[in-house]
Amino acid sequence: MVATNDNILSLLENVMDPEVPVLSILDLGIVRKVDAENNTIVITPTYSGCPAMQTIEDDIRKILADNGLENITIETTLTPAWTTDWLSESGRKKLREYGIAPPVGTSKDKNVLFGDEKQVSCPQCRSGNTKLISQFGSTACKALYKCEDCLEPFDYFKCI
């Protein structure tokens, strides 16, 4: 394969977030730059301690190598800091179908004590009658909710 930005991007579409395997790293918004001319890809972590970053880097390297693209440098940048506002529309739709409620609103409003003011709808039954159980869920990027109507607990991809 010829190393063009479009070709690299179409390959990256197939690199999935290991913790939410329906989201590609493009859906997630963590690929900040593809520069085929200089053989460079720039990515940014979701959280400082995100244990998936190394796996993602290895997966990128592997899919490129499998398609004959070697010697690509993968750089990690912290700035600008990743925000859930970068999740693509298709990413939000995929999350919901997978059973994870996508982030509601923007990343700005989170200083209130006790309970999220936002209404998060249940990804199973769509009810808005849900309750925050914990701001910290199964991975760094998720909070834990419970639906008061269908009684299912579910993950919410929290805003940062």
Partner 1 sequence: MEKQEALIEYCLRLGDNSLILGHRISEWCGHGPILEEDIALTNIALDLVGQARTLLTYAGEVEGKGRTEDDLAYLRQVREYRNCLLLEQENGDFARTIVRQFLFDSYHVPFLEALRSSTDTTLAAFAEKSLKEATYHLRHSSEWMIRLGDGTEESKTRVQGALNELWMYSGELFETDEVESVLQKEKIAPNMDAIKKTWTTNVAGILELATLTQPEAGWMQSGGRTGKHSELLGYILAELQYVQRSYPGCEW
Instruction: Compute the distance between CA of residue 158 and CA of residue 85 in angstroms, rounded to an integer.
Output: 11
54 binds partner 1 (CB under 8 A): no
113 binds partner 1 (CB under 8 A): yes
Nearer to Zn ion, 23 or 147 (CB): 147
- Residues interacting with Zn ion, by CB under 5 A? 122, 124-125, 127, 147, 149-150
Cβ contact 25:31 at 8 Å: yes
Nearer to partner 1, 11 or 110 (CB): 110
Q: Which does 68 bind (CB under 5 to 8 A by kind): partner 1, Zn ion, none?
A: none
Cβ contact 120:156 at 8 Å: yes
Applying CB under 8 A, which of residues 38, 71, 80, 89 lies at the interface with partner 1?
80
Applying CB under 8 A, which of residues 107, 118, 124, 150 lies at the interface with partner 1?
107
Q: Which residues sit at the interface with partner 1, rule CB under 8 A?
A: 45, 47-51, 77-83, 107, 110-114, 133-140, 144, 158, 160
